Amino acid sequence: MTRSLLFVPGDSGRKFDHAAASAADALILDLEDSVAPDQKPTARKEVRAMLERRAAAKQLWVRINALDGGDALADLAAVMPAAPYGIVLPKCAGRDGLLQLSHYLDAFEAAAGTAPGATRILAIVTETAQSLFGLHDYRDATPRLWGLSWGGEDLAADVGALRNREAGRYTEPFRLARSLCLMSAAAAGVRAIDTVCVDLDAPEILATEAAEAFRDGFVGKMAIHPRHVDAVNAALSPDDSQLQWARAVIAAFAANPGAGTLRLDGRMIDRPHLRLARRLLGED
């Protein structure tokens, strides 16, 4: 299970060490927003070194710069020889961007001798207004697609919003983007990953966001500070009663493999409940 994905500025080996010691399931080594333009060449070398160190038991992702700029190919050239677990694609406007990155990865994997298709893609798909209109088209785009996530900061700038949050909650346009990302991931059959909590010193807001994410169907959440990781992991993990229910559902269908609907503890369950049970147990 990948519950927590912690961003690490690509130009800071010190912060990488701190992040690697955290309980995060995955680290996202960032070459985009957290790195100043004049520091990107240095950051690429740093990220390559981070990848080669291989933090134990953690997925190591790299967020490259957007494909429509001049940095994405340089980012990939620097990091792909070190075989990251996956690439985080920002500002993905639609299926074409996903396919473009997949073709780049084909070439870089071949050059590095990496197994074809080994590099996964996590696409951030709501950072422009245009991108919201391509969310229906990700299913079967590429086997590399591991998950979809969303973001509200760049989207706010794109639509001209004065702010995207009030009283610690996203306003309606941005909650729409969140919902559409969730539905798009479900339609594509991939993981839905919630965006970061930008309130660094408001644990109650983080707890609410993470709990709502798990309730609604997100399986993971990004984080921008190590102190957010434990709360995210706790909220995105099923509790004992949920695990007990999931095991009972799976056992019921295993005992009745041809059944479409069954009765469990006085309630009807059907195949969608079986899918949910498998997700809760990390089998889906």
Residues 6 or more apart from 13 whose CB is under 8 A from it?
46, 49, 50
Which residues are registered as beta bridge partners of 123? 89, 148
pLDDT of residue 55: 63
Strand 169-170 relative to strand 165-166: parallel, antiparallel, unpaired? antiparallel
In this structure, the number of other CB atoms found within 10 A of the CB of residue 189 comes to 11
pLDDT of residue 220: 98
**pTM value > 0.75:** yes
Q: Which two tokens stand for residue 32?
A: 């985009």
Q: What is the mean pLDDT of residues 106-114?
A: 97
Q: Which residues are annotated as a binding site for substrate?
A: 63, 127
Q: Which residues are annotated as a binding site for Mg(2+)?
A: 127, 154
Torsion, Cα of 41, 47, 53, 59 (10° steps): -160
Q: What angle do CA 3, 219, 228 make, to 5 degrees?
A: 40
Residue 283 pLDDT more than 80?
A: no
Handedness of CA 67, 153, 147, 184 (dihedral sign): negative
Residue 4 pLDDT level (bands cut at 50, 70, 90): very high
pLDDT of residue 133: 95
Least confident of 24-28, 50-54, 81-85, 132-136: 50-54
Task: Give the chain's domains with CATH numbers.
Answer: 4-235 (3.20.20.60), 240-280 (no CATH)
Angle, in degrees to the nearest 10, between helices 72-79 and 95-112: 30
Residue 40 pLDDT more than 80?
A: yes
The mean of the pLDDT values for the chain is 95
**Please, where are the H alpha helices in the chain?**
13-20, 40-53, 72-79, 95-112, 153-159, 172-188, 203-216, 229-235, 240-255, 271-280
Residue of 282 and 266 predicted with greater confidence: 266
Q: What secondary structure letter does DSSP report for 226?
A: G
Question: What is the spatial distance between Cα 14 and Cα 3, in angstroms, rounded to a whole number?
Answer: 23
Q: Which two tokens stand for residue 161?
A: 């919003």
pLDDT of residue 20: 93
pLDDT of residue 211: 97
Q: Which residues are annotated as a binding site?
A: 63, 127, 154
Q: Which two tokens stand for residue 185?
A: 């991931």
Question: What is the spatial distance between Cα 153 and Cα 258, in angstroms, rounded to a whole number?
Answer: 48
Residue 56 pLDDT more than 90?
A: no
Q: Which two tokens stand for residue 83?
A: 């075989």
| Inter-residue contact 166 to 142 (CB < 8 Å) | no
Q: Tens digit of pLDDT for each residue in 180-227?
A: 999 999 999 999 999 999 998 999 999 999 999 999 999 999 999 999
Q: How many helices (H) and strands (E) does the chain have?
A: 10, 12
Q: Tens digit of pLDDT for each residue in 178-190?
A: 999 999 999 999 9
Residue with tokens 């997100």: 218
Give the amino acid at 65.
N
pLDDT of residue 139: 95
Q: What secondary structure letter does DSSP report for 179?
A: H
Residue with tokens 């983007």: 177
